[in-house]
């Protein structure tokens, strides 16, 4: 089997050399440098997630991706995710068709409902329509991907009558749907015939196998295509397992602790961190060999077409993430591909 290996990033606001948090502008400039390095070391794709809160710098992924596009040649440029529920499908399409034009067809979209809800009040959308907004907007976006004049009518947005959008695509605009693990989300993705990106941030990734089976079964029964499956999971790579854990742990504790406090979770402990970083955990942290082995386990168990490593957990310094990207491209990726080629 073959697999694409990417990185994802939310633009986590990081610590500078003096220990203070950097300005968001500096974080974004660092992020462009990370994208350039990823392209140079052979990473297949970079995905940037949309957020509207003070611990993440990326609120407009396609703008940052365009900056990366101007300095790279081959890496694919995706969102991770675009919160379609609180955006307009027409504007999302136009922004990414523009990115596709600027990058010679390297743009991709990962749409989802998002795991944070700040965008709903920010853009004036009622949170009680969380599910209905995504359902209707995904239907429209799927129609727009077909190209040509679009006639469409829904309940929550003004209708379209024979509308053509510009710039027109010169090829395809690959679009994934981010899925957290509900059967309804899996079936919806299959109904639209779109690739499925599983957000696996805890537990054993192989527990998602029933959702992968459901997805392929639904694709077959609906006749909507062969489908593709991806996995997005957090992690960090360093020269040794101990070094990777020691670099990541204090920042992971800050990152997960803040989100947990907002959602009523208990604070992370070193024991829970070690368990998540273990052979069957979703936290892909360790040496290149350790991280490669964990990716191979997921790829075999879930039949992955793409794996995306979510880097920079919390305020982890930029230089650590740069080294992680270098190791991921030059050492992790060859180990993963060699193991999966041997399977074939």
Domain extents in the chain: 4-343
Does domain 4-343 fall into CATH 3.30.70.260? no
End-to-end Cα separation, the chain, in angstroms? 6
Q: pTM of the predicted model, to two decimals?
A: 0.97
Token readout for 333 is 């990726």
Cis peptide before 208 (omega within 30 of 0): no
Q: How far apart are CA 231 and CA 309, in angstroms?
A: 8
| The predicted structure's pLDDT at residue 114 | 84
Q: Are strands 175-179 and 284-286 parallel, antiparallel or unpaired?
A: unpaired
**For residues 185-216, b (16+ Cβ closer than 10 Å) or e, as one string?**
bbebbbebebbbbbbbbeebbeebeebbeebb
Contact 179, 153 (CB under 8 A): no
| The predicted structure's pLDDT at residue 183 | 96
A 10 A CB-CB count for 287 gives 19
The 3 state secondary structure assigned to 291-307 is: HHHHHHHHHHHHCCCEE
Token readout for 126 is 């009622």
| The predicted structure's pLDDT at residue 1 | 66
Residues of the chain with pLDDT below 70 are 1
CA distances from 178 to 169, 228, 230 (A): 23, 12, 9
Place of tokens 């009518």: 153
Percent of the chain predicted with pLDDT > 70: 100
């Amino acid at each position: 089997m073959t697999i694409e290996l990417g990185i994802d990033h939310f633009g986590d606001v990081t610590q500078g050399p003096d220990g203070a948090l950097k300005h968001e502008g500096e974080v974004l400039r660092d992020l462009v440098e990370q994208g350039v390095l990823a392209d140079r070391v052979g990473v297949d794709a970079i995905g940037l997630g949309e957020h509207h809160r003070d611990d993440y710098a990326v609120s407009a992924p396609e703008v940052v991706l365009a900056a990366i596009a101007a300095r790279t040649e081959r890496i694919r440029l995706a969102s991770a995710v675009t919160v379609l529920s609180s955006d307009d499908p027409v504007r999302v399409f136009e922004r990414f068709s523009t990115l596709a034009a600027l990058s010679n067809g390297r743009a991709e979209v990962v749409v989802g409902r998002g795991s944070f809800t700040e965008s709903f009040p920010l853009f004036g959308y009622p949170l009680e329509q969380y599910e209905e907004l995504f359902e209707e907007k995904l239907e429209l976006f799927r129609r727009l991907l077909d190209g040509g004049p679009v006639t469409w009518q829904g309940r929550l947005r003004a209708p379209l009558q024979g509308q053509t959008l510009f710039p027109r695509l010169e090829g395809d605009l690959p679009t994934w749907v981010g899925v957290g693990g509900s059967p309804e989300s899996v079936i919806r993705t299959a109904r639209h015939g779109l690739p499925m990106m599983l957000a696996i941030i805890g537990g054993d990734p192989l527990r998602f196998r029933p959702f992968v089976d459901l997805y392929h079964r639904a694709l077959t029964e609906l006749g909507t295509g062969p489908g593709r499956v991806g996995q997005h999971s957090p992690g960090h790579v360093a020269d040794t397992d101990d070094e990777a854990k020691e670099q990541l742990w204090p920042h992971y504790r800050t990152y997960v602790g803040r989100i947990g406090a907002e959602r009523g979770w208990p604070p992370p402990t070193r024991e829970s961190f070690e368990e998540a970083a273990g052979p069957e955990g979703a936290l892909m942290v360790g040496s290149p060999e350790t991280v490669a082995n964990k990716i191979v386990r997921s790829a075999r168990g879930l039949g992955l077409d793409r794996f995306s490593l979510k880097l920079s957990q919390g305020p982890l310094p930029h230089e650590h993430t740069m080294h992680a990207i270098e190791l991921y491209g030059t050492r992790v990726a060859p180990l993963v591909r060699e193991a999966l080629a041997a399977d074939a």
